[in-house]
Structure 1
């Protein structure tokens, strides 16, 4: 299964390997550069079915750091187009982009919040900082929330202009959308807080807005944290309920990660530690899912797919260590995987 194609809307991926979005902290003013061109291009040469570009801010203050990518102006759009064109012209890989807003976890460097002089004011659904020693974020007003929904739509439009094949909305890891989802970071009493339906409203509105731009050739993925490992917090049961909603909102796949919203949460790590979250969502809702988290080999990836625990395998650190993970796995397992014709002598 690992080297079999799969379709989302009309977009066909040649295999089930996905380069998971990973921040590279290497931009100036949100503009990708030659590093990004080589970084993403090399994974396309390695046979990865889908590449998803790192978390990209829909507004300047939505970036995690001042070195993160952004997609709010023409210069950024044109810079991304260079990488997208290379991937399309030199491989069978498809390429998507993850759009996000860091909310209260923005304006950081090396894992610490920057001062207002060095960074910027952060925003959140409620006046609750991520860590006790951080500044209290600005609580978003309803007009500001509506404006952010439009910002996501505008960035999605730019992504399509740049030629990306799909959009992923970042609703995980304690960033702004996740902050709305969780009752531990959202204590609002208006239509964006309180009940499950209200806490998911921001995400649903963003998905609806982005889907207004997408056709049958451009799917929509959503990354969530399946659980935040905290009592009375966002958990797998609410993730299953969310998947039921999004499945009926033209979301094509749930990319299932975990954690990130609660400072100091205890997480037990082991190979494939997040796969059970993907498996439960897929089993209980029938929605297509992606598994991510310490998946290091083609054998493990194949096992996950064969058990029906996911439809795609998202790989992060292992594909940094080895850009040719996908094609090397095909050599070992006799699978068919795209390999540059210039490198063909190395196939044997």
Structure 2
């Protein structure tokens, strides 16, 4: 047995390997009156955010991103490097990709899963590493519904247009679930309408997966009810044509999501925050018929605090191949802002996360800013209202795993760097 000599370096606590403790965590603003030459205070995006017992040192989170690289639902060393690279460079919360609660709920045969205990250990290994860096880890629990059993996007001619994975490719095209037997598009599998027993069993599957996530050491859980996957399909009157207790009225179409939230909340610690992601609209208003839209998202959002949800992660689209999304640089951020305003006006307490096209430090700053440089929490002639409480970033982290550190430098905020990388920190005022 090798005995490591004692040194002045303090080890990170609670992990089964040695690495220096990052105290405070990387990405922490090192003073609250950050003097960048103009005497400005630290922007809100680099101030702490509290969710129940969880405190994030800044307002950046890794948005869940499917990597199509798991082995029968088990994460691998690829995911350790992929997720660890962002966590060690200062992002406060890393949310793991959509993780299916049943085998047939994966988008592709290579998706992450948490339907069996053997999938806990690979997840825990990555969570341990993230914790060793002083950061927090979350997991998005999901079921792909009628968009399941498709091949990874690099196998298709046009990215974003899926093709069915056959049984020979490891798929399950004959066992794809949906609220109603309506295909997403011609190349997707033909789904089966779920029985009431299968719907009730799915709620139990979410609860069991949530319990496994707790065992893996996650700090928070997000329920995926966006992007046209199963819970979204139940919400939408276009994809949900059921005539039982899970279809028809708003109350019936939201019943499955509400049941999943309740079942998840019941098996996780009271101190653990619970997140939900929705598509605020499916962008089908152009048809003139009823669809899932912003008004219904606001109505749903007002219910969430009483169900024990702490943060609503607002995205949009994904439920219809014929959607007509109105793309602007702030389209999804603006949807989040409208929901936030409506929830607060109703006297409810619910944090809001914004995602989409967050690719510069200035955009990140403006999303959550509350009291700096004339930006205030209400509309005003010289100000801008706060749009969200947390910034979720996806593709920019793939381009720049150090996006948090780069944003801090560009905003003139002195933050903690990784101990091992300190010699590479940009000099004050250095042009990037």
Taking the aligned partners of 1:199 and 1:336, their CA distance within structure 2 comes to: 48
* Residue number among 84, 105, 119 corresponding to 1:41 in the alignment: 84
What is aligned with 1:112?
163
Query: Could you tell me whether the CA contact under 8 Å between 1:49 and 1:93 is conserved in 2?
Result: yes
Q: CA offsets, 1:174-229, max 9 Å, x none?
A: 00000000000001011100000000000000000000122243110000000000
What is aligned with 2:360?
297
What is aligned with 1:276?
334
In terms of Rg, which structure is larger? 2
Structure 1 residue matching 2:46: 3-state secondary structure: coil
* Residue number among 289, 296, 302 corresponding to 1:238 in the alignment: 296
Query: Could you tell me whether the CA contact under 8 Å between 2:147 and 2:188 is conserved in 1?
Result: no
Taking the aligned partners of 1:315 and 1:35, their CA distance within structure 2 comes to: 20
Taking the aligned partners of 1:54 and 1:2, their CA distance within structure 2 comes to: 23
Taking the aligned partners of 1:100 and 1:339, their CA distance within structure 2 comes to: 34
Taking the aligned partners of 2:415 and 2:147, their CA distance within structure 1 comes to: 39
Structure 2 residue matching 1:265: 3-state secondary structure: coil
Cα separation, partners in 2 of 1:272 and 1:299, compared to 1, 3 Å: same
Instruction: Tell me, yes or no, if structure 1 residue 333 matches structure 2 residue 333.
Output: no
Structure 1 residue matching 2:329: 3-state secondary structure: coil
Moved more, 232-241 or 71-80: 71-80
Shift of 1:117: 4.8
Query: Could you tell me whether the CA contact under 8 Å between 1:47 and 1:92 is conserved in 2?
Result: no
What is aligned with 1:94?
136
Relative to the length of structure 2, the TM-score reads 0.78
Query: Could you tell me whether the CA contact under 8 Å between 1:165 and 1:217 is conserved in 2?
Result: no
Shift of 1:330: 1.2
Structure 2 residue matching 1:274: 3-state secondary structure: helix
Tell me the matched-pair count: 347
Instruction: Tell me, yes or no, if structure 1 residue 198 matches structure 2 residue 252.
Output: yes
Q: CA offsets, 1:223-281, max 9 Å, x none?
A: 00000000321000000000011121110011000000011312232322201110011
Counterparts of residues 7-86 of structure 1 (less than 5 Å): 7-86=50-129
Structure 1 residue matching 2:308: 3-state secondary structure: coil
Relative to the length of structure 1, the TM-score reads 0.97
Counterparts of residues 217-256 of structure 1 (less than 5 Å): 217-231=271-285, 232-256=290-314
Shift of 1:310: 0.4
Shift of 1:92: 2.5
* Residue number among 297, 300, 322 corresponding to 2:400 in the alignment: 322
Q: Which runs of 5+ in 2 are unaligned?
A: 1-43, 154-161, 345-349, 370-384, 428-432
